[in-house]
């Protein structure tokens, strides 16, 4: 760890007054999030640009601490070219409140901004973006982790089309009950798999595959594929596109969701080439393997990498799997003091405490 000054520079972003280590200068606002915000800065010691995530009241509730543990643990755990690189962590204590600063490599923008911009997105762009996202998921899923919040906003991208997944606050373990189901309102439901809001009692890695399918569809048409005015409307919208499903495909539904779907009018699947006119047929076949209502029938990341659509990019020699599985040993914890101890222990050898 480099020795640095403990002097602090006050900065005001997002309606927050933060004190950041004086090694950082040239602050610029990047984005605002529900937990704080992201700014860019220059590290005078290591002579490099960085992004700083400001997390206010980092330990004010159990869910916030678990999100912090997720973010730091997984960014430290993963070493992959399509996952954001963690540089450092700083804490600032004032009274009983703690502000956390997560310093990462900088990225130019995110997919949400690209989709909303007038910038041209070619078929080659989409293919390369989705390939990198699937590569990252193959690596993440090999460690038994579900990202749980995949949407264009959490996929960052550089001008050279380099893609990185950057947010793990709502990640959880494979085949576990979704620990943060009360936080579904914090994610963009346009990209959530049906099992999240149809009462499934367990979620698998296939839920992330659905999300990537929705992201790909949004890239292809520059607008979301489904209508998310409400979760009920979202279910209806999905079935209007995919068509009515076989009864066996509803095995994961709650009784309430099952009853609602049974009362919907019967529909036929809309052909993808009617929605995405002029799109590469291989791309639409690839999309078809991801946007499947029944999670058991969706392709996994490993199988998708070998699909014809990615054959010009895929090289099995670069198939990376995580060195070891990740265990969320804190998700069942309910005592805040214990959670705080876990958080402090986690960053003990990685952060600089700013007192």
* CATH, residue 211: 1.10.510.10
Residue 57 lies in a domain: yes
Say whether both 118 and 227 belong to one domain: yes
The confidence score (pLDDT) of residue 176 equals 62
Contact 317, 64 (CB under 8 A): no
- CA dist list (Å): 74 to 58, 181, 343: 17, 20, 13
- Judged against a pLDDT cut of 70, whether residue 16 lies above it is answered with no
Residue 295 lies in a domain: yes
| Number of structural domains found in the chain | 2
Residue 350 lies in a domain: no
Say whether both 185 and 308 belong to one domain: yes
pLDDT, mean over the chain: 87
- Judged against a pLDDT cut of 80, whether residue 13 lies above it is answered with no
Say whether both 131 and 247 belong to one domain: yes
Average pLDDT rounded to a whole number, residues 314-340: 87
Say whether both 162 and 122 belong to one domain: yes
How far apart are alpha carbons 253 and 307 in whole angstroms?
A: 29
- Residue predicted with more confidence, 319 or 178: 319
Residue 326 lies in a domain: no
Residue 18 lies in a domain: yes
Say whether both 153 and 291 belong to one domain: yes
The confidence score (pLDDT) of residue 4 equals 39
pLDDT for 83-119, tens place per residue? 999 999 888 777 777 788 899 999 999 999 999 999 9
Q: How confident is the model at residue 309 (pLDDT cuts 50, 70, 90)?
A: very high
Return the minimum-mean-pLDDT range out of 58-72, 86-100, 156-170.
86-100
The confidence score (pLDDT) of residue 235 equals 92
Domain residues for the domain of 227 are 109-318
Say whether both 292 and 232 belong to one domain: yes
Say whether both 129 and 275 belong to one domain: yes
The confidence score (pLDDT) of residue 353 equals 47
Average pLDDT rounded to a whole number, residues 47-72: 89
- Judged against a pLDDT cut of 60, whether residue 2 lies above it is answered with no
How far apart are alpha carbons 168 and 333 in whole angstroms?
A: 18
**146 Cβ contact partners less than 8 Å away, ≥ 6 residues apart:** 171, 172, 173, 174, 203, 204, 205, 207, 208
Average pLDDT rounded to a whole number, residues 241-248: 94
Average pLDDT rounded to a whole number, residues 68-84: 94
**CA proximity to 205, closest of 235, 175, 163:** 175
Say whether both 136 and 77 belong to one domain: no
How far apart are alpha carbons 304 and 283 in whole angstroms?
A: 11
The confidence score (pLDDT) of residue 322 equals 84
Say whether both 21 and 99 belong to one domain: yes
Residue 327 lies in a domain: no
Q: What is the Cα Rg of the chain in Å?
A: 21
The confidence score (pLDDT) of residue 3 equals 36
Return the minimum-mean-pLDDT range out of 48-62, 269-283, 300-314.
48-62
Say whether both 275 and 155 belong to one domain: yes
Q: How confident is the model at residue 5 (pLDDT cuts 50, 70, 90)?
A: very low
Say whether both 138 and 270 belong to one domain: yes
- Judged against a pLDDT cut of 60, whether residue 355 lies above it is answered with no
The confidence score (pLDDT) of residue 227 equals 82
Q: For residue 50, report the phi and psi dihedrals to the nearest 5 degrees.
A: -140, 165
Q: What is the CATH number of the domain that holds 42?
A: 3.30.200.20
The confidence score (pLDDT) of residue 228 equals 76
Q: Return contacts of 306-313, CB within 8 angstroms, 24+ apart.
A: 307/282, 308/282, 309/127, 309/280, 309/282, 309/283, 309/285, 310/127, 310/130, 310/131, 310/134, 310/286, 313/127, 313/128, 313/131
Residue 49 lies in a domain: yes
Residue 349 lies in a domain: no
How is residue 251 written in tokens?
Answer: 């095995």
How far apart are alpha carbons 335 and 6 in whole angstroms?
A: 32
Say whether both 144 and 238 belong to one domain: yes
């Amino acid at each position: 760890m480099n020795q640095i000054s403990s002097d602090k520079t006050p900065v005001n972003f997002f309606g927050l007054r933060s004190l950041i280590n004086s090694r950082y200068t040239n602050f610029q606002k990047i984005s605002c999030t529900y937990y704080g915000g992201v700014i860019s800065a220059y590290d005078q010691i290591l002579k490099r640009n960085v992004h700083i995530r400001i997390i206010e009241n980092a330990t004010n509730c159990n869910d916030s601490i678990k999100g912090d543990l997720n973010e730091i643990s997984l960014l430290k755990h993963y070493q992959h070219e399509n996952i954001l690189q963690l540089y450092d962590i700083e804490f600032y204590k004032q009274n009983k409140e703690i502000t956390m600063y997560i310093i990462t490599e900088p990225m130019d923008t995110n997919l949400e901004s690209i989709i909303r911009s007038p910038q041209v997105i070619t078929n080659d762009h989409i293919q390369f973006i989705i390939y990198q996202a699937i590569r990252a998921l193959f690596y993440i899923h090999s460690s038994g982790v579900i990202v749980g919040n995949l949407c264009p906003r959490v996929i960052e991208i550089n001008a050279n089309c380099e893609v990185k997944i950057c947010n793990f606050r709502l990640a959880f373990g494979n085949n576990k009950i979704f620990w943060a189901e009360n936080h579904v309102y914090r994610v963009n439901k346009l990209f959530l798999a049906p099992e999240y809001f149809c009462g499934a009692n367990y979620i698998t890695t296939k839920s992330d595959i659905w999300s990537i399918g929705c992201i790909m569809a949004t890239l292809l048409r520059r607008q979301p594929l489904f209508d998310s005015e409400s979760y009920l409307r979202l279910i209806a919208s999905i079935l209007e596109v995919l068509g009515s499903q076989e009864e066996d495909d509803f095995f994961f539904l709650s009784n309430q969701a099952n009853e609602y779907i049974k009362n919907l009018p019967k529909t036929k699947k809309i052909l993808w080439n009617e929605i995405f006119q002029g799109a590469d047929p291989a791309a639409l076949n690839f999309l078809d393997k991801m946007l499947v209502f029944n999670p058991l029938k969706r392709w996994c990341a490993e199988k998708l990498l070998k699909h014809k659509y990615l054959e010009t990019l895929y090289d099995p020699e670069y198939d990376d799997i995580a060195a070891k599985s990740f265990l969320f040993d804190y998700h069942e914890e309910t005592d805040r003091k214990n959670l705080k101890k876990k958080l402090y222990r986690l960053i003990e050898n990685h952060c600089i405490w700013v007192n």
